[in-house]
Amino acid sequence: MSVAQLFDLRGRKALVTGASRGIGQAIAIALADAGADVAITARDGASLTETSAAITAKGREAVPLSLDVRDVERCRAGVAEAAALLGGLDVLVNNAGYEEICPSLDVEEALWDKIVSTNLKGAFFCAQAAARHMQAGGKGGSIVNLCSLTSYVGVPTAAPYGSSKSGLMGMTHALAAEWAALGIRVNAIAPGYFRTAMTDVFYENQDWQAAMLAKIPMRRFGGMGDVGGAVIFLASDASAYVTGHCIPVDGGYLASI
């Protein structure tokens, strides 16, 4: 098999949660560009119009679905619907996430539950539902979780988020070890500092931007074009012997601290 064939996703069926904008949207479009048909989800299905159009412009099938990953039964039903409409499921990207900065002494139970239920519980039950379809299909598959720099380091005012993303790293390890026998690989990427709608509050502070750029060896923040390659690698046969790992996409931040 040639190198080009290793990265070729033609014929693959993928599902990306939280794909209406930002990193999730970029990942969904990259998967389509590599040849996959892609089901995409968001809490508001109407918000997926732009992503759907970009996928179909690549000549691939787009399946938009309304899905709140905090609802376990809806996770199961949504994954089943995606598999049915696509004609199978080979790749799941657990991207849906939520973050809200708050001093730890002020965190209320409702905020904790919202963050952890979205980032960790939702990811687990989507992965579980996807794995059942991958097992039934007999071909295995690839699951890619969206971890974070907070999976590795502590960030003030982000204790619930960091807890959820650290848990997601542990879940990645555990599922990789358990599901390897089923032919299902489970990996993750950890985006560094990317400006998205969810993180925009940080970037409004110019002093914060200057301080963070000084800590990033590449001296720039991540752009949406920086995430697709890592996901394509983990979704494709190019990573056929890779499972249980997380690839930081962070401009060298973690390497420098």
| pLDDT mean over 212-218 | 95
Distances (CA, A) of 109 to 103, 112, 115, 122, 218: 13, 5, 10, 17, 38
- Cα separation of 111 and 121, whole Å? 14
Q: pTM of the entire structure?
A: 0.96
Sign of the four-CA dihedral 12, 127, 227, 70: positive
Q: Which of 98, 152, 161, 193 is catalytic?
A: 161
Residue 196, pLDDT above cutoff 90? no
DSSP letters, 143-175, are EEEE--GGGTS--TT-HHHHHHHHHHHHHHHHH
Mean pLDDT of the chain: 96
pLDDT single digits (tens) 40-95: 999 999 999 999 999 999 999 999 999 999 999 999 999 999 999 999 999 999 99
pLDDT on residue 119 = 98
Cβ distance 40 to 16 under 8 Å?
Answer: yes
Amino acid at 198: M
Domains of the chain, start order:
3-256 (3.40.50.720)
- Cα separation of 156 and 167, whole Å? 17
Q: Which two tokens stand for residue 190?
A: 């950890």
Percentage of the chain beyond pLDDT 90 is 92
Cβ distance 182 to 188 under 8 Å?
Answer: no
Our answer to whether residue 253 is catalytic in this structure is no
Residue 204, pLDDT above cutoff 90? no
